[in-house]
Amino acid sequence: MDTNVLFIFILAIFVGIEVISKVPSMLHTPLMSGTNAIHGIILFGGILVLADAATPLAQALGFVAVVFGSANVFGGFMVTDRMLQMFKKKK
């Protein structure tokens, strides 16, 4: 096991808490939606797993994982952008 990964994991926990602690509540919904899109990185996990799939079962499940992950990442960023483009200051 690579302890460096754990090290990064622990630091990322604190960065995540620190970065979000300054977010005003008016942006909580876009923020939740934006972070939701970021965990769509699971798409890559799906791609890696499907690329290695050897049995029809693994292919089927991997395919579903890729579809889910892709919907998560693309839909997440698009819906967040759609929300945020409406935040305009007084003209």
Partner 1 sequence: MSSQIVPLVIIGVSVLFILGIKFLSSPKTARLGNLVAAAGMFIALCVLLKTDGTSVWSHGWSFNYTLIVIGTLIGLIIGAIGAYSVKMTSMPQMVALFNGLGGGAAALVASLEFIKGAHGPEIAGIKLPALQAASAFIAGSMLFATLIGSLSFSGSIIAYLKLEGKFEKPHTFPGQNILNGLILLVILGLCGFLTFNASGGNATLAFIVLFCLALFFGVAMVMPIGGADMPVVISLLNSFTGLAVAADGFAINNLAMVVAGTLVGSSGTLLTLLMCKAMNRPVTNVLFGAFGSSGGSAAAAGGVAGTVKPIQADEVALLLAYAQRVVVVPGYGMAVAQAQHSVRELTEELGKRGVEVQFAIHPVAGRMPGHMNVLLAEANVPYDQLVEMEAINPSMDRVDVCLVIGANDVVNPAAREDKSSPIYGMPIIEADRCKTVIVMKRSMAAGFAGIENHLFYKDNTRMLFGDAKASLNALVAQVKAS
Interaction residues for partner 1, span 64-83 (CB under 8 A): 64-83
Is residue 31 a contact residue for partner 1 (CB under 8 A)? yes
C-alpha to C-alpha distance for 37 and 76, rounded to whole angstroms: 4
Query: What's the chain's Rg over C-alpha atoms?
Result: 18
User: What is the residue whose two structure tokens read 């049995």?
Assistant: 55
Task: Give least dist CB 54 to partner 1, A.
Answer: 8
Name which of residues 11 to 30 contact partner 1 (CB under 8 A): 12-17, 19-30
Q: Does 38 bind partner 1 (CB under 8 A)?
A: yes
Whole-angstrom distance, CA of residue 76 vs CA of residue 34: 7
Q: Considering CB under 8 A, how many residues would be counted as binding partner 1?
A: 80
- How near is the Cβ of 11 to partner 1 at its closest, in Å? 9
Give, as one character, the DSSP assignment of residue 55: S
